[in-house]
Amino acid sequence: MRGRTSRQAHADLPEGTVEEEHGREGFAGPASHLYRLHPPTGWDEVDGPLRPHALDTGRLPMEGPEALPVALLVNEDLRVSQWSVSEAPAWFFRDADGDLLLFVHRGEGVLETEYGPLRYRPGDYLVVPRGTTHRVAATAATRLLAVEALGGSIGLPDRGLLGRHALFDPAVVEVPEPDPHDEAGTFEVRVLRAGAITTVRYPFHPLDVVGWKGDLAPLRVNVDDFRPVTSPRYHLPPSAHTTFVGPGFVVATFAPRPLETDPAVLRVPFYHRNIDVDEVIFYHRGEFFSRVGIEEGMLTFHPAGIHHGPQPQAVERSRAAGPGGRADEVAVNIDARRPLRLTAAGEAISDPDYVRSWRQP
């Protein structure tokens, strides 16, 4: 310790200071805590590729049955997209680029797969293994956040000391029962590989599987089944909520949870500049306790190297509320090891004023 500091991270900050965590390896590596006189997000302007973005996915049109996911952010390991489906398409889809993780933001329907069907509703995560023939058969207009593990697999994380039943018991994970279709006709399967579509036509229904066995299958789990890990006396980092892992990225879920009750402890996220990962958050529902001006269906993108943390109004709101209470929010956090690039579709729905949202009102 040097100078004026707290004895422990995220608690009892020296009077008149804000805390910043300068850490490596996400929140798992070496770190120092810097006690500053001013929030490190109190800039006048940011110019260049590290400028933070807020994307309003609600501005993307609801597409018809021919739609494929619209990529918003990409790197060599993953593709983050918005997928809107208004009805069941006449064709089936097979993603040969990687495992596909779908988060249901709006709508209801059935994920039809060759393993069998999975009914979906808002708040569902649907994992579709690479190369699985499937179709999103929407019965109500559906908006999905899509995360593709390019060339890799998506799985559950090692829970470590918490044990394998932390966050959610694997027993709540649903896998499909076979529902074979024995039909003749012309059936089209569109296969995505390296960004290009190959069309395959069959004289029989492609979902004709009468049985399956093994440890590779589509799955469904809903955020309402989550039991978040919390502490009344310590503000846990986002990594405590890690839900899925892929090559070069992790996905965490911020679910409704009690806030810290110790009056000395930070209740909003500490300022940080996780230098090893880009951070993406998709806001599904609720009141997002660390943000102001962010609506349901928006997505924020904070590149590595630039500070981020709570906006001034969120800090004041937390201070006025006092210890305790609840974070009534559901959001999906994606941390990517390699730099993400904003696509043209992402740029088109980016709020140009977001970078100035940390200014003092």
State the Cα–Cα distance between residues 39 and 183, nearest whole angstrom: 64
Predicted pLDDT at 313 = 79
pLDDT at 361 over 70: no
Label residue 185 by pLDDT band (50, 70, 90).
Answer: very high
Same topology between domain 18-54+227-356 and domain 62-223: yes
Residue 277 φ then ψ, to 5°: -140, 150
Tens-place pLDDT, residues 22-38: 988 878 888 899 999 99
Which of 52-61, 140-149, 325-334 has the largest mean confidence? 140-149
Tens-place pLDDT, residues 229-267: 988 888 888 888 999 999 999 999 999 888 888 888 887
Tens-place pLDDT, residues 273-294: 878 999 999 999 988 766 677 8
Region of 22 on the Ramachandran plot (φ > 0 left; ψ -120 to 50 alpha; else beta): beta
Non-local CB neighbours of 359 within 8 Å, separated by 6+ positions: 42, 312
Residue 101 φ then ψ, to 5°: -110, 120
Q: Would you identify the CATH topology of the domain 62-223?
A: Jelly Rolls (2.60.120)
Report which secondary-structure segment, H or E, holds 317: helix 312-321
Helices H, strands E: what count in the chain? 2, 22
Predicted pLDDT at 242 = 93
State the Cα–Cα distance between residues 43 and 31, nearest whole angstrom: 23
State the Cα–Cα distance between residues 234 and 259, nearest whole angstrom: 10
Q: What is the mean pLDDT of the chain?
A: 91
**Domain boundaries, given as residue ranges, for the chain:** 18-54+227-356, 62-223
| Cα angle for residues 308, 295, 126 (degrees, 5° grid) | 90
Tens-place pLDDT, residues 213-231: 999 999 999 999 999 998 8
Predicted pLDDT at 118 = 98
Q: For residue 104, which amino acid is it?
A: V
State the Cα–Cα distance between residues 250 and 337, nearest whole angstrom: 9
Residue 160 φ then ψ, to 5°: 60, -135
140 or 318, which is more confident:
140
Label residue 325 by pLDDT band (50, 70, 90).
Answer: confident
The pTM score is 0.94
Non-local CB neighbours of 241 within 8 Å, separated by 6+ positions: 167, 228, 229, 252, 253, 254, 255, 333
pLDDT at 271 over 90: no
Q: Would you identify the CATH topology of the domain 18-54+227-356?
A: Jelly Rolls (2.60.120)
